[in-house]
Each structure stands twice: as C-alpha cells, then as structure tokens.
Amino acid sequence: MRKAVVLFFAALLLAFAGTSWAQTETGQITGTVLDQQGNGVPKAKITVRNLGTGALREAGSDEHGAFVVTNLLPARYAVLVEAAGFTKLDQPVDLPPGGRVSLDLKLQVGQISQTIEVSAASLSINTENQTVGQLITAKDIVDLPLLTRNPYDLVGGAANVSSAADAGLTMRGAGYNINGLRSAGTNILLDGAANNDEFTASVGQTVPLDSVQEINVLTNNFTAEYGRASAGVVNVTTKSGSNALHGTAYEFGRYAALASNTYDNNANGIPKPGFTRNQFGYSVGGPVKKDKLFFFQSTEWLRVRSGATAIVAVPTPQLIGASNANTKGFFSAFGTLRSNFTQIKTYDRDQLYDSLGGARDPVTGAPTGTDPTCPAAPSNCNTLFPFGSTAPMFAQGQYTVPSDSGAGNPQNTYFLVGRVDWNATSKTQLYGRYALENGDLQTGTVTNSPWAGYDSGQTSKNNSFLLSMIHTFNPMLTSQSKIVFNRLNLVQPLGSAPVGPILYMNATSAPRIDNKLIGMPGYSPFTPGNAIPFGGPQNFVQAYQDLSSIHGRHTFRFGGNYTYIRDNRTFGAYEEAVESLSTSNFRTSLENFIDGNLGQFQAAINPQGKFPCGAAGPVPACTVTLPVGQPSFARSNRYHEFGSYFEDSWKATNRLTFNLGIRWDYFGVQHNKNPNLDSNYYDAQGGNIFSNIRNGSVATVPNSPIHGLWKKDWNNFGPRIGVAYDLFGNGKTALRGGWGVSYERNFGNVTFNVIQNPPAYAVISILPADVGGTIPVTTDNAGPLGGSVGSKALPKVSLRNVNSNIPTAYAHLWSAVVEHQVKRNFIVAVEYNGSKGVGLYTIENPNRPGSGNVYLGDPCPTTPCVNPVTFAGTGSLTRLQNFQYSNINRRGYGGFSHYNSVVARTELTNIGNTGLSLHSSYTYAHAIDNISSTFSESNDNFNLGLLDPFNPGLDKGNSDFDLRHRFVFSGTWDVPFARNMSGVAKRALDGWTVAPIISIRTGFPFTLFDCTGAFTTCPRAFQTTTHQRNGSAVPDPSGAANLFDYFNFGSGFDSSYFNPIAGISEFGPFPDNMLTRGYFYGSGAYHVDLGVYKTTKISERFSLQIRGEFFNMLNHSNMYLTLSDNDLSSTTIVHAQKGVHPVLANENRNVQLALKVIF
C-alpha cells in the first residue's frame, strides 16, 4: 500500500514535469550554527523533528555554518544541532503557514553527549524575506473573543486593512480591503490551496474554528509562490493529529435575554427581538500508530433562531387609488401586504416634503427652493396632492421576518473537517483532508418584502478534498505534490410568489422616507439589480507541484498550479421584469407612479435566435412569435488556468538575504459547454472609439472576430524582488523591503452576465426616449412583447459586454520595514506600505442617451436636444449604437488606484512570564482610486460605474474604503497570581484568562451627486461655497426616531449645469467646481470586545473551561451615514443613524457563553 501511494504521487510529479506548480502551505527553517565567538560551524548535523508527529528532516551546515530545511508543514518543531567538540543544542521553533524562520544557534564547547535544551520558543523577527503580514497563532484563535467563530473574521485584527462592510461595500475576499486594494483581490487559501467562491470572489467554505491551527495574513509584498491575488493572501491551515490524544467538546450560546436591544429599536419603540444561537461540536486528534499514522476530526453544528422587525415605507391605498389605471392594475395583481404588516404612521404631502429635507421659509413656513416630492406644476402629483392636503401618500409600517437580530441569520448548518497524516517513510510524509459545510438559511433571510409571497432563503453544500505528499530526495532537494477537488453548491430559490414583474421607485437604489426604505411589490424590493433564482455547483480541480533545491547559499524554489473550473449556474437575471419609475430622482418617480408610466423597463425574453431590429425597421429576421417565452437562465462555464514561478533566496552573507523571483499567471477565458450560447459585443476596427462602438456588433463566439469572449492574456509576468538585512547580526533588528507585481483574476459574476446577450437571451431595456413616447406600468412580464398570438419586432435590448481586449488587472506592491526585538518576547516595528493598481476592472455604459449627439454629432431638432428646464425633447437623444441596443454595460479596464500607509505595531508574548500577550497596531493610510469595486457596489455610488467611460480619470478621488486612521489592540492575559496556591483558593482563583479586543477608526468617505439635470447618469454636485468635509450629527427637526442630520447642503451648490449639445447633465466638459469622489467623510467608530474565561483542571488529562464573551461591551452605538442620501436633487440633508450598520446587523451589546472540555 505504501509503495502504491508513493508511486501514485511520483506519477503525478512526472505528469507535471514540464511545468512546476506552486505550494503556499509549507515553510522553511533557515539558520546559522555558530561557536561562542560568533564564527560559523561547518558540517554540523541539523535534525528537525515535528513535535506532534515525530516526522524527521535532516540537513547539514555549509562552510559558513548556514543551513536550510525546506517544505515543512506548519507545526512546532525541535531543531537539534550536533557538531564535533560541542554540546548538542535542542531549540524549539514555531513555523507558521508558508513562513520562513531564521535561527542563530550558538553552540558551547563540551561533550557531544551533553544536550542544552532551550525551554520555549521565543518571538522571532523576519530576517529572511520582504513579506509583510500578521500571524494569528493557535493561542489567538482559541483565546480571542470571536462573535461568529468564523476564522476569517480574525483578519480584522491585522494592520493595513480596512473593513469592506463598514464602508458599505460587498464583503468580497475575507471581507477586508488589504493594502489599499479591492477586497476581491484577496486570495483565500485552505491548507495552501485556493478556497475561493470564484463567482463572488469570496470565501469558498468555512471550517470549524477548533479545526484551525493557524492563520497567516499576508498584507503586502508576498513572495513568488503566492499568486491569484493583487491585494493580500489569507492562508488558513487545519490541525493534524499527533502522538498525544488531544481534543475539545464545546457549546457556545447567544441568547436574547443576555443581549441589549438595539438603539434603533429602542428609539422606534420596538421591543427587543428574541433569538437563540447554539454552536456546539467537538475536535479530536491523536495517533493511530505512534510516529507513523495520525488522525484529526472536528464537527460543529450551528442552530440559529432569530427574528427582526423591519420598518419600511409603502404607498397608501389613497395614493394607489388616485393613480392611473396601470398603477392600480399592478397593485391589484401583486400588491397584497403580508399578513403581519402593521402600519405605524402615514405621510401627507407636507410631511413627505419635510421628511425628504425640503426647505421652508423661516418666517412663513412656506416651501422654498427645489421640491423633492413633486415636479413643478402642472403635474398630477401637485394637482392631486397639493400642499395642505391631508390625504396620506405613503405609510410607514413594520413586520417581523427571520433575520439577524444579534445571533446571525436563522439557519441549520454544520461543518466538519477530517484529516489523516502518514509518515510513510523517513523521507515521505502524506496527508489527506476532507472538509464539508452544509447549510440551510430560513425563508426570508436572503430577501424579504412587505408584500406577501416574496420571501426567500438559501441552501448550501460545500465540499473540499485535498491529498498532499512531501518527499525528500536528499537534504538538498525536496518536493511537495498536492491535488485538490472543491465543490461549492449554493442555491437561492424563488419564494411562493410566481415569476412576475418588480416595481422600483428608482432604477439604481431604493429611496427612503425618514430613513426607511420604500418597498414595492416584487422580489428583492430594496436592491435593484439583484435577482433570484440564483446558484448551482462550482467544481474545482487543482494540481500543485513544488520543488525546493539548495545550491550553496542559494535556495531555489519553483512551482505553480493548474486549475480547472466548471461553474454550472442558474441566475435569473431579469427573469422578473424590472419596472423602474425613474432613472433619476424621487419627484420624477412619484409623478410616474401617479401617471402609470415607467422611466425604464427591463425584462429577459427568449429572442428565438434573433437579433433586435436595426435601421431597416421590423423585418422577419428580427421578429419574434408570440407568446415569447423566457430564455434558459443556466450555463455551464469552464476555465483552464495556470500559474508558475521561480524564486532564488540568496543568502549573500549570513546577515543579508536577497529574494529574486518571478511569477506567471494565466486566467482562462470563460467558455460555455455550448459555444453557441456564448455571445459578446465586439467593437468595429479602424475608426475612433465612438465610431467603433457605433459600427460594432454582437456575435456568438464561433462567429466572432477573435473566436472567444475576449482575447487570451498570456503576458501576466510579475517580478518579485526583496531584501532582508539582519542589521547587527544577532537576529534582533531587521531591515526589509521589496517590490513586486501581482495579478488579479476577474471574478465570475462580472463575466457570467454575458449570458444576457442575444441571440440565445435578450434583456429588453428601454427608456421612453427609445420608444418615442411613454412606457406604461404593466402586469405582463414581457412588457412590450406581451401577448399570446401574432408576432412583434424585437425592441432595443441591453448588452452585458466584456471588452474583448480586456487584459488582466494587476498591482505594483512595495514596502519597507524596520523590525526590532526589544526583549526576548517583545517586538516593535514600523512599516511603510504602498500599492498602485493598474488596469483594474470597471463597469460603465458608453451607450447612454445623448452619446450619439455629443460624440458623433447626430442632429437634434433643437439646440440643445433637451430643454434643460422642462426636460422636453428627450426623444431626440441618440446613442452611439442607436438602433438595436440600449445600454451597453461594459466590463472594462480603466480602473486605477494609489495607496500609501505607515504602520506602527508592537507584539508581546508572555512578557516576563506574566502570562500577558499583547498585539497592537496603528495604521495611517490614504487610498485613492477612480472606482472602488468592479460593480461600484456601495450605496454611496449613485451611478453604475464610471461617470465618463471615455475619461476614467474624472472619477479620481478618495476610495470608498479610504480609512485614514485605524488602531487595533488585542491581548490575552493568563492571570498568574494564583499559580502557586493550593486547595480551594487555587481552584477559585487560578486559571483565569482575560482577552480584550479594541478597535478605533476614523470615518469613511461620502460622495454627493446632483441628478437635477440628469437623464440616466448623475454628475457629482457642483460646489459654489466651500463646505466642511466632516459633518456633525444633530437630531432631525421632524422628530423622527433615530434620525440625525449629519450634513446640510441647503446652500452653496449650483444645479444649473447641462451639456450644451444634449441639454442634460451626464456629459462633460464638467465645471471645475464639480466635487471629487469621496469629498466628505462620515463619523468614526469604535468597538470594545472582552473575553473572560475560567479553566479548571478536572483531572490530569481533562480541563473544563467556562467562557464569557462580551461583544460591544460598552453597548456603544456608532453613527453611520445613510449612504443613499447622496442626491442633491432629492434631498439636501444627509442623514445618519445610530447603530444602523450599512451592511451588517444593527449594533447592540451581545453576550456569548460557553462550556468547553479540553483534553
């Protein structure tokens, strides 16, 4: 059996002999054997022994006393040094995942039969490479309070990171922006292999916290073996069994009775919701055969029962009844409020005006300035609901729904990890690992609505198999081979309501009244652009091979990976028609609601293999037979991806090390199993960009000019250069620095959406200007193609276009670090970090109404085309692609970023044998970019993507996640005072641990737009008087609960700008007084968590730990801006709320209790 396994891996190695594949899990121990005078001791024998499994590796020192032992799994090792004429030295050392540890091993003259043992491993500084990061140790993982018990949440304790959720961004990667780059640029590793959901660029699957050995967070300048990441790497390693039987059994619980109510609930008079969270499981590991075969297994169950009260705004029966028959018909068909909806209050015209921040004369109280509620008279809104009318227009109400009210989303989930390690021979170690995550989120957690039938949940089943072999050919040549199979399967189904249209007030975001979202009938009522059903299995096959070869003072490491991805996914994009009342402001939306008209209609249909009609008008080639059905929403996309690297770690002297490496990555072009289902839009060639778009066309891949969705990019070479200098030669002071280039994979959600292109799929996407009239609110999911008999011409459809010339995005990374060991377990460091993102992925619409007039000179009956006062004439606006296609949502590469930071950090471990360990870091940083995420997904981004697709630099400003100041402090203190007591006193007073975490940060940027003159895209506001960049919270004059005015923009702005050709404001040249992105800043925040634990010895083998973990211990509610209050034409007040987080659950104090048996 042993020979069969070894031969299998040998065959695997030979199969990939043409190219080597990388390892990122194993590390190396280097060092110098010295005599008492500090001279190198040659020909010393070094034996490295894994203290858990007994696995042995041997090496010898060279003529300078230097040695290297490579490809070691993360573990605690004993390094035994033997040399003639000297006593033996036995030194323990902890090797982190992918780490490089350097030792100065000083021998004493004496008998070789004598051994000097160093009792404990001490903190060591990095004198080997340029990498910047933080190791989260096994003790940190066990002792630090962690609300979710999700190991990836510990990344927030690192320096040089910024929380994506706090900035209002989607939590991609590990949920943090690292080194000033996008969170999607983080590579998540599990046991050194990729653990990413490549569709969403997020964590693939989680594992039980008690199965995790260590986490290595690389925040900058990682060496060449690390790829598929432009920002950072999070490397989680699982535990292995050992020669001793060890394990845990535990129950963690969170209960509403121990938690506080949220500030928002208290302010609104809502009782504290009930919840329970039970997280229980075990871990056990030990020997099957001593020093040969070991096992480890951990399983954890998570049961959450939780509900929350949602407060929203809905139109009243009076508003619906006064509206056009189209609107009445829609609500008659789809608008039944859910049974547990309770009305709280209503808003008449004056109350609505005040809640939206309308200005009033200070003397008379009469409305003044721009009216955010209704268009200027004559309008039906003004006629039917004049000022002074008491007829209610909107109602605020509440309902309960399964939701995170302090315990996480309601669910039944379990996780498990199983691992077997085998020391097959003295030169061969193997291990296999299996991980499973199986979850079921309750209906209402993924999407919920005040209207009946639109709640939905989620199921998931994720698997990961890994098999690894490390083989030492000789002390100078070591190999690791690894094969991995991951399968991630997440499904979000529809609720009980059938497929039907969704009504939105606005095409980009749901507006608010008194900071409460307005919800209309349909799925995902608060998030335009989201869609269900969604999900399906992603399958990953990964193969890795790594070789380390030592030649004198050079350690060569070369390797890489091959990845095959098959993503079998269903995504119902526009399966439910999206009916948007407006593409601009609230008053237009409300007028269209009353008139029964839409500002935009979008729906997916089966175009029956045809393309929309062109300039020739309706012909059979563009006519579809009624009734039109829906397209297939499923695809099977495949990718073949490669990476390879070479690195020379050259120890020029015992104190000076150079790391010279280069990495190459290739990220495969997405291709469907059936290439005829793949289609893209391809610009024409030979003209300027504007005429090339006008003359471009849609083609299926077999008929495209490049025979692919986009061109393959083979040129992804990234040099990695670093230096590390042991300043005084004693291993206590290091100067490190380097520069490198790293590439970022474009995640699947960005490119999958080409599914929406004809001729297999079409998204009708029309504005009133496209049809030369109005678009009615309709109950027919096919909109203008509704009907059951006859035929109709295909109208304009929108496109999801990946620029066919798109290259791979990349970033320059650089750093300089000074690190000093003050005392044995006390390290201080100062870091400078920097990055520059190049060719970052963007989204933009180059085919906006008016683009044909502005860029290609298409004539209009009048100049400008649109009357900027009455907005008449929008029908004369033309597009670059003017006949067949409306919006072209282009995935481009015009993004860029610049980042610089300075970090000061300290680390103390068991200082003075007091049991006290502390970590602290302060980061001063500035992040600048022109788009902070591919989908511009923060609620603070009013537009989808770039303001001007042809001038990306126009959007240069503070990044959405720019965080100028951040301080993080964490620690554990094993209270030592009762160590020497006995009896009852020892049992009561000994074994206590205190573990605090404190984080303090400044505020995130806020961007202000002005949609006054906009048709589909809003410019940023035009400032005439300088405004303070930082606001302050004062209670809103309306007296609304938990509503504060943070910025008042009632004056000092000019809303009169319009493009002189088009007559609308989305085209430049913009005045110089247009604000930059992220001009203003929100409030800072702080959090204090505390863990208090009592560990009592029950017997020689067993201990019982009682834990209390207190999150937001001070019950502090931070102030968060309402990011959607960012349109000057809709509101002049930017509101804020206490404790209402832009992404996560509302803040409250939470207590987690636990019992844990340790053996």
Query: Which tens digits make up the pLDDT trace of 57-86?
Result: 988 988 888 899 998 988 889 999 998 888
> In whole angstroms, what separates CA 892 from the centre of its chain?
20
Query: What per-residue confidence (pLDDT) applies to 120?
Result: 59
**Of 518, 611, 427, 347, nearest in space to 2 by CA:** 427
Query: What per-residue confidence (pLDDT) applies to 122?
Result: 66
Tokens of 435: 């991980």
**Of 556, 509, 562, nearest in space to 668 by CA:** 562
Query: What per-residue confidence (pLDDT) applies to 467?
Result: 98
The answer to whether the bond into 627 is cis (omega within 30° of 0) is yes
Residue 578 pLDDT > 70, yes or no? yes
Mean pLDDT of 458-476: 96
Residues 6 or more apart whose Cβ sits within 8 Å of residue 1000: 965, 966, 967, 1084, 1085, 1086
Lowest pLDDT segment from 13-22, 330-339, 735-744, 783-792: 13-22
Tokens of 944: 């989808």
How many other β-carbons are positioned within 10 Å of the β-carbon of residue 49?
19
Mean pLDDT of 845-874: 95
Q: Could you tell me the pLDDT band of residue 119, with boundaries at 50, 70 and 90?
A: low
Instruction: Give the span between the Cα atoms of 233 and 222, in whole angstroms.
Output: 8
**Of 1146, 960, 1117, 1119, nearest in space to 1031 by CA:** 1119
What is the torsional sign of CA 314, 317, 318, 324?
A: positive
Query: Which tens digits make up the pLDDT trace of 1055-1102?
Result: 999 999 999 999 999 999 999 999 999 999 999 999 999 999 999 899
Query: What per-residue confidence (pLDDT) applies to 23?
Result: 55
Residue 8 pLDDT > 60, yes or no? no
Strands 775-776 and 600-605 turn out to be unpaired
Residue type, position 852, single letter? G
- 529 versus 272: which is more confidently predicted? 272
How many other β-carbons are positioned within 10 Å of the β-carbon of residue 41?
21
Query: Which tens digits make up the pLDDT trace of 757-780?
Result: 999 999 999 989 888 889 999 999
Residue 680 pLDDT > 50, yes or no? yes
Query: What per-residue confidence (pLDDT) applies to 761?
Result: 97
Residue 600 pLDDT > 80, yes or no? yes
What is the torsional sign of CA 689, 692, 697, 701?
A: negative
Residue 7 pLDDT > 60, yes or no? no
Mean pLDDT of 807-815: 98
Q: For the chain, what percent of residues have pLDDT higher than 70?
A: 97
Q: Could you tell me the pLDDT band of residue 115, with boundaries at 50, 70 and 90?
A: low
Instruction: Give the span between the Cα atoms of 940 and 955, in whole angstroms.
Output: 14
Residue type, position 605, single letter? I
CA distances from 1122 to 1034, 1083, 1137 (A): 14, 11, 7
Q: What is the per-residue DSSP string for 684-706?
A: -SSS-HHHHHHT-EEEEGGGSSS
Query: Which tens digits make up the pLDDT trace of 866-894?
Result: 999 888 998 899 999 998 999 999 999 99
Instruction: Give the span between the Cα atoms of 381 and 869, in whole angstroms.
Output: 18
Query: What per-residue confidence (pLDDT) applies to 434?
Result: 98
Strands 797-802 and 885-908 turn out to be parallel
Q: Are 1075 and 1008 in contact (CB under 8 A)?
A: yes
Q: Could you tell me the pLDDT band of residue 37, with boundaries at 50, 70 and 90?
A: confident
Instruction: Give the span between the Cα atoms of 648 and 1132, in whole angstroms.
Output: 59
Q: Could you tell me the pLDDT band of residue 19, with boundaries at 50, 70 and 90?
A: very low
Judge residue 291's burial from the number of C-beta atoms within 10 Å of its C-beta, 0-12 exposed, 13-18 middle, 19 or more buried: middle
Residue 408 Rama label (left phi>0; alpha psi -120 to 50; beta):
left
**Of 835, 790, 784, 1068, nearest in space to 953 by CA:** 1068
**Of 1061, 710, 760, 1016, nearest in space to 886 by CA:** 1016
Instruction: Name residue 938's beta-bridge partners.
Output: none
Mean pLDDT of 102-116: 78
Q: For the chain, what percent of residues have pLDDT higher than 90?
A: 81
CA distances from 443 to 401, 448, 745, 1144 (A): 9, 8, 33, 18
Q: Could you tell me the pLDDT band of residue 645, with boundaries at 50, 70 and 90?
A: very high
Query: What per-residue confidence (pLDDT) applies to 16?
Result: 39
Q: Could you tell me the pLDDT band of residue 99, with boundaries at 50, 70 and 90?
A: confident
Helices (H), 347-440: 349-355, 380-384
Mean pLDDT computed over every residue of the chain: 93
Q: What is the pTM of this model?
A: 0.91
**Domains of the chain (ranges, CATH numbers):** 2-117 (2.60.40.10)
Query: What per-residue confidence (pLDDT) applies to 87?
Result: 87
Residue 18 pLDDT > 60, yes or no? no
Tokens of 110: 């004496």
How many other β-carbons are positioned within 10 Å of the β-carbon of residue 478?
25
How many other β-carbons are positioned within 10 Å of the β-carbon of residue 426?
11
Instruction: Give the span between the Cα atoms of 1159 and 1157, in whole angstroms.
Output: 7
Query: What per-residue confidence (pLDDT) applies to 9?
Result: 42
Query: Which tens digits make up the pLDDT trace of 923-939?
Result: 999 999 999 999 998 88
Q: Are 276 and 229 in contact (CB under 8 A)?
A: no
- 384 versus 978: which is more confidently predicted? 384
Query: Quick one: CA torsion of 615, 616, 621, 627, rounded to 10 degrees?
Result: 80
Q: Are 166 and 183 in contact (CB under 8 A)?
A: no
Mean pLDDT of 605-618: 90
Cα maximum dimension of the chain: 104
Strand boundaries in 1012-1056, DSSP class E: 1034-1035, 1044-1048
Residue 609 pLDDT > 70, yes or no? yes
Tokens of 735: 């100067």
Q: Could you tell me the pLDDT band of residue 895, with boundaries at 50, 70 and 90?
A: very high
Mean pLDDT of 1032-1052: 94
